[in-house]
A and B are shown apart, each in its own frame.
Chain A
Amino acid sequence: MKKSITHEFFKGFWEVLPPFRLVLGLCPTLAVTKTVENGIGMGLATTFVLLCSNIIISSIKSIIPKKVRIASYIVIIATFVVIVELVMKAYFFPLSQQLGLFIPLIVVNCIILGRAEAFASKKPVHHSAADGLGIGLGFTLSLMLISAIREVLGYGTILGMQVMWDKFEPFAFMVEAPGAFVCLGLVLGLINLVPKKA
């Protein structure tokens, strides 16, 4: 069955929405979702790397030898990660300080390598681009969802603006490590309640 390019794009928003449907890339999801700003920054950085690496891998898939394909994918991905790292240091310095270690760690984000192996290495370029963009944006939305819950409960703000009432006592728990795990687990459980296909 041939799937349309719009399907490849929109499946990233629900059917294989990372990190809920496609349970990969959990470390950044847990680590950078203290505030919505960090979540969006991380999501967009990942989207860029995913889109570019999908396009490149899909266009040179025929000349990559089978035996060293994983290593080749990692080099391609790492190249784009270095680009993101340098651009963020130059133009978004405070954000890059906040995300810190997790920018170089985009290299080992399993979503990207997973898409390269499972999708880009088999499909034509335009489909891979749609897939990369869709999954990347889906990941960004998921990060925004988690970080919104954590920021509202943990600090009483969204993007730095006060949204809770004055006397609201923030749950310090939510912005620490245990809160991240529990929050992600419960959201995952809720999403599992909704069937995959509408």
Chain B
Amino acid sequence: MEYIVLAINAILVKNILLAEYLGNCPFLGVSKKMDTATGMGMAVIFVMTFATSITWMVHHFVLVALGIEYLQTIVFILVIAALVQLIEMFLKKAAPALYKALGIFLPLITTNCAILGVAVMCIKRDYGFIQSIFFALFSAVGFALALVLFAGIRERFQVSYIPKALKDTAIALVMAGLIAMAFFGFKGIDSTLKALTLN
């Protein structure tokens, strides 16, 4: 039950993209076409789950053990950058088909603030190891969901009339605002769920 609540919270109520404002650059960058959006979504799910489990271990077994938690930012970003590179090399050898699908999105992910953001969030909220992994996985699913939904709408923009000044990013942001408003409606579920878990 606890994990169902965590899932609904991370995917719908506190969607990292639309409610926590993380990962907006890739969101606007790759959402012009459906297939790039799906590719990026898959890559983020993959990397975020991996990265969070590694950074959780690094934090608890290295940083806390040595008493150097203030270096968190530097260490985490290095771990993420190295991990992305490793995943890229590993996929190239082991799963060429998957590499072809995710390939070009992987390097971009290092500077996706959602990855670092979720890793830091798990530490700040004192999640346990399993909880962190699930939180990262569900957050990434939420990201992918928003990205794919958005790409579907954005494809329609190509055939509709949009004033010149609003073209591209401006109208995309306004659109993102409307989707965010739809997701905002899920806030009601939150309190219902809390009441359910308490009973």
Tell me if B73 and A81 are in contact (CB < 8 A).
Answer: yes
Q: Mark B60-97, 1 if CB is under 8 A from A, else 0.
A: 00000000001111101110010000000000000000
Chain A, interface SS category: helix
Q: Does B133 contact A (CB under 8 A)?
A: no
CA distance A101 to B118 in the complex (A): 10
Interface residues in A10-41 by Cβ distance below 8 A to B read 23-27, 30-31
CA distance A30 to B174 in the complex (A): 12
Q: Does B169 contact A (CB under 8 A)?
A: yes
Chain B contact residues, CB within 8 Å of chain A: 18-25, 28, 70-74, 76-78, 81, 110-113, 116-117, 120-121, 124, 163-167, 169-178, 180-181, 184
Choose among B23, B81, B167 the residue that contacts A74 (Cβ–Cβ < 8 A): B81
Interface size of A in residues (CB-CB distance below 8 Å): 42
Q: Does A71 contact B (CB under 8 A)?
A: yes
Interface residues in A23-67 by Cβ distance below 8 A to B read 23-27, 30-31
Interface residues in A179-193 by Cβ distance below 8 A to B read 179-186, 188-190, 192-193
Chain B, interface SS category: helix
CA distance A23 to B25 in the complex (A): 8
Q: Which residues of A contact B165 (CB under 8 A)?
A: 189-190, 192-193
Choose among A27, A71, A79, A185 the residue that contacts B173 (Cβ–Cβ < 8 A): A185
Q: Which residues of B contact A176 (CB under 8 A)?
A: 184
Tell me if B171 and A185 are in contact (CB < 8 A).
Answer: yes
The smallest C-beta distance from B196 to any residue of chain A, in angstroms, reads 25
